[in-house]
């Protein structure tokens, strides 16, 4: 299913991933679910659930709701994780090591096929998943010679190298980057970037913690 990015908000896609997680849990003890039940678990409205899902088609049955197995299958298809998506990791520091050493953190539908770094001490080192750390200068050759289509990269280099590394990836055919650095990448608009700045998320979390505490004291 191909849709223009402008037609769908980032928040809708985020909620899709949340729906999927909830449905997989509910599937353990139920076969079906309706928009009201799903909205209560999501802490949103049933109208929002129906609106989100209707963006991609009509999947429920009026008065009955959704078949959970079928809806999981549909959402996985929408997210493109009903098949294996190959990706590479650029930067084998602490974050890169954590990601490559535990494939479960990637979830369904993703497979690391290459790991790259510029540290001579790390290059050619064998790591988990039957992989070997390669010289980052070999990224172009790897992508072009790969038997599988590689268009996604996890960027986990140091902040000062982020922009240069990202530009090189884009030049060599990467179309989507999960940015694990704190650097704000400047790339062409047709390149998809998702930022995972843990520090920023902790700041956001701390803001809400403080404000919830203050609100609680006022009540």
Is residue 186 situated within a structural domain? yes
Q: What is the pLDDT of residue 1?
A: 55
Q: Binning pLDDT at 50, 70 and 90, where does residue 55 land?
A: confident
Helices (H), 102-184: 139-145, 162-171
Indicate if 21 and 118 belong to the same structural domain.
Answer: no
Is pLDDT at 110 greater than 60 in this prediction? yes
Contacts of 48 (CB under 8 A, 6+ apart): 15, 39
pLDDT 10s digits, 141-185: 999 886 768 999 999 999 999 999 999 999 999 999 999 999 999
Indicate if 193 and 111 belong to the same structural domain.
Answer: yes
Indicate if 57 and 95 belong to the same structural domain.
Answer: no
Euclidean distance between CA atoms 157 and 182, whole angstroms: 10
Indicate if 94 and 190 belong to the same structural domain.
Answer: yes
CB 40 within 8 Å of CB 33: no
Number of domains forming the structure of the chain: 2
Count the residues in the chain: 219
Is residue 19 situated within a structural domain? yes
Is residue 207 situated within a structural domain? no
Contacts of 214 (CB under 8 A, 6+ apart): none
Nearest to 117 by CA among 101, 141, 133, 94: 133
Indicate if 110 and 183 belong to the same structural domain.
Answer: yes
* Domain housing 128: 85-200
**CATH number for the domain that contains residue 95:** 3.40.50.720
Name the percent of the chain lying above pLDDT 70: 92
Indicate if 130 and 182 belong to the same structural domain.
Answer: yes
Pick the last residue of a domain from 79, 111, 143.
79
**CATH number for the domain that contains residue 24:** 1.10.10.10
Indicate if 89 and 196 belong to the same structural domain.
Answer: yes
pTM given for the model: 0.87
DSSP summary character for residue 191: S
Euclidean distance between CA atoms 114 and 50, whole angstroms: 39
Nearest to 65 by CA among 52, 50, 75: 50
């Amino acid at each position: 299913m191909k849709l223009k990015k402008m037609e769908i908000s980032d928040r809708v896609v985020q909620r899709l991933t949340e729906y999927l997680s909830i449905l997989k849990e509910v599937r353990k003890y139920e076969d079906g679910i309706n928009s009201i039940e799903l909205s209560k678990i999501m802490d949103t409205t049933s109208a929002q659930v129906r609106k989100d899902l209707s963006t991609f088609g009509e999947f429920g049955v009026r008065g009955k709701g959704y078949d959970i197995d079928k809806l999981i299958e549909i959402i996985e298809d929408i997210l493109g994780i009903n098949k294996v998506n190959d990706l590479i990791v650029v930067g084998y520091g602490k974050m890169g090591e954590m990601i490559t050493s535990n494939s479960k953190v990637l979830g369904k539908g993703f497979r690391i096929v290459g790991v790259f770094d510029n540290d001579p001490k790390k290059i050619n080192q064998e790591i988990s998943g039957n992989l070997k750390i390669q010289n980052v200068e070999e990224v172009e050759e790897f992508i072009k010679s790969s038997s599988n289509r590689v268009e996604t990269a996890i960027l986990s280099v140091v902040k000062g190298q982020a922009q240069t590394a990202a530009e090189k990836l884009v030049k060599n055919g990467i179309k989507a980057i999960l940015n694990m650095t704190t650097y704000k990448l400047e790339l062409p608009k047709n390149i998809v970037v998702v930022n995972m700045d843990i520090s920023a998320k902790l700041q956001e979390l701390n803001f809400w913690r403080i404000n919830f505490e203050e609100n609680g004291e006022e009540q």
